[in-house]
Amino acid sequence: MTTTIYIPRDAAALSVGADDTAKALAAEAQRLGVAARIVRNSSRGMLWLEPVVEVEVNGKRHAYGPVQAEDVASLFAADFVNGGAHPLALGPTDDIPYLKNQERLTFARAGLTDPVSIDDYIAHDGYKGLTNALAMAPAAIVEAVLDSGLRGRGGAAFPAGIKWKTVLNAPVEGDGQKYVVCNADEGDSGTFADRMIMEGDPFVLIEGMTIAGIAGGATRGYIYLRCEYPHAQRALNEAIANAYARNYLGANILGSGKHFDLEVRMGAGAYICGEETSLLESLEGKRGQVRFKPPVPALKGLFGCPTIINNVVTLASVPVILDKGAEHYKNFGVGRSRGTLPIQLAGNIKHGGLVEKAFGVTLRELLYDFGGGSASGRPIRTVQVGGPLGAYIPESQFDLPLDYEAYAKSGNMVGHGGIVVFDDTVDMAAMARYAMEFCAIESCGKCTPCRIGSTRGVEVIDRMLAGDLPVKQEALLRDLCETMLAGSLCALGGMVPYPVLSALNHFPEDFQSQPQRARAAS
């Protein structure tokens, strides 16, 4: 009997030696005469345990990790192919609390399948959503997405169905082309959900984009991928080729008469190109700079044509809605925040990784029940949610439910769901300064509040910390943040005030000058 052994092929596992472990598994199985089939799946999100090796025993998977090449001989000696006991044993995978306590909709297949096997994808309910969509009128598909309550998972949280409806109803000019563009320029610190989807379940993104194309009347799509993701590029291109070969892309999809072409385009890595209009400029071969709005991309987007533009997780959430129905998806979440959100735990956290939970979960649950507290063992002082432009949230707000409206009301943002953790040794004035410096480096330069305001912001904070009229500098910093918030052309300059003001408001003691700190310590 052949034993099936799974080991991830995504960047997270590769970075800690998964390829060497896979080679060692194959070599040891051959040496011992064990009939083994090694499947390169993807990470399940328990990144602190990578490389995780799973073995299928009587239809149930058992996990071991982290497994290095030098551990392989002892695994075979412990009869791990039959689920034998070993110091690295994690037990039946489905019973691991970190996974068992999640609600996985978008990431339902991650870690279960060979990412580029279309047969594996179909065997795990793949392409059911597209099959249903092909039998529906475009307006009915759009209505299902609207009814589900799905909002953009890239940060702005704009209802996806409204974008799709606008494109569907948009008049076309010239050759009548409409487009679907996936924003895969995942540039926020502490975020990796998009990468994990593209490397671990690329077909769900391909399926979601195909459904979007049919819904909006678009026949061509582009995945705009940042150049730092070569493993995602390879997985996507292989999966796209397999989808074409099986008639899930191209002309007359599954005999439906529908047509959708898809390709990957690489960006050069500019942070500003995560903003949708800058991305479109770059995709057209121009310098990545923000466009004035209106018109919005849904009316005049790529090459001046109506364009659906959503990020990876948004589009990857569509297939389950078309498969199981809008009500099924809507039953998860709270208030106007429906469905689930893939949350990424990073920074000073013991159990860093990906957690998919319904909206309503609290930071405290995420940080301690899933994350296990800080990696350093020291108290967690603050977390930054939503990337480098997200607010710093103090411990007093850790019980706030994860909800777009609740976060906005408290001056925070959910963003892409990235959470970066800091213990009590962090210098919050330095973090505020970094936000301004980051904006100065990454600004496209098109608007004055962002281009000049961020540079002046660094200078003001430096004077404040030097003890140069600190009360006056604080007033100036707050005024500058207000100008950037109200006057910036896009969210880059407009959101820098979130980390700066949250640090200043919640941790004012860190903004004292060095002499003041010395006096306070004595």
Contact 10, 42 (CB under 8 A): yes
332-423 shares its CATH topology with 428-521 = no
Residues in the chain, total: 522
Query: What was the pLDDT predicted at 303?
Result: 94
Chain centroid to Cα 322, Å, comes to: 21
DSSP for 356-419, written as a single string: EEETT-BHHIIIIIIT-S-SSSSPEEEEEESSTTSPEEEGGGTTSB--HHHHHHTT---TTSEE
**What is the pTM for the complete model shown?**
0.94
Phi then psi for residue 218, to 5 deg, are -95, 140
- How far, in Å, CA of 292 to CA of 484, rounded? 16
Using an 8 Å Cβ cutoff, are 69 and 23 in contact? Answer: yes
| Domain 3-100 belongs in CATH node 3.40.30.10 | yes
Q: Cβ(340)–Cβ(333) under 8 Å?
A: yes
> Which residue pairs, CB below 8 angstroms and at least 24 apart, start in 293-297?
296/166
What is the architecture, at CATH level 2, of domain 428-521? Up-down Bundle (1.20)
Q: What is the pLDDT of residue 152?
A: 92
**Cβ atoms of residues 480 and 460 within 8 Å:** yes
CA-closest candidate to residue 45, choices 311, 319, 343? 343
305 CB-side CA count, 13 A: 21
Tell me the C-alpha to C-alpha distance, in Å, between residue 294 and each of 297, 299, 301, 349, 363: 9, 9, 11, 42, 36
Query: In a structure prediction context, what are the per-residue pLDDT tens digits for the chain, which is 522 residues long?
Result: 899 999 999 999 999 999 999 999 999 999 999 999 999 999 999 999 999 999 999 999 999 999 999 999 999 999 999 999 999 999 999 999 999 999 999 999 999 999 999 999 999 999 999 999 999 999 999 999 999 999 999 877 899 999 999 999 999 876 679 999 999 999 888 899 999 999 999 999 999 999 999 999 999 999 999 999 999 999 999 999 999 999 999 999 999 999 999 999 999 888 888 899 999 999 999 999 999 889 999 999 999 999 999 999 999 999 999 999 999 999 999 999 999 999 999 999 999 999 999 999 999 999 999 999 999 999 999 999 988 889 999 999 999 999 999 998 988 989 889 999 999 999 999 999 999 998 898 888 888 988 998 999 999 999 999 888 889 989 999 999 999 989 998 888 888 889 999 999 999 999 986 666 655 555
Q: Which of 264, 325, 281 is nearest to 128 (CA)?
A: 325
Of 91, 67, 14, the closest CA to residue 76 belongs to 67
User: For 240, what's the count of Cα atoms within 13 Å in the CB-facing half-sphere?
Assistant: 21
Q: Quick one: which of 241, 287, 276 has its CA closest to 261?
A: 241
Cis peptide before 295 (omega within 30 of 0): yes
- The answer to whether the CB of 297 falls within 8 A of the CB of 179 is no
Per-domain residue ranges of the chain: 3-100, 118-329, 332-423, 428-521
CATH number of the domain located at residue range(s) 332-423 in this protein = 3.10.20.600
118-329 CATH: 3.40.50.11540
* Distance from C-alpha of 110 to C-alpha of 13, rounded to nearest angstrom: 13
Backbone angles phi, psi at 151, to 5 degrees: -120, 155
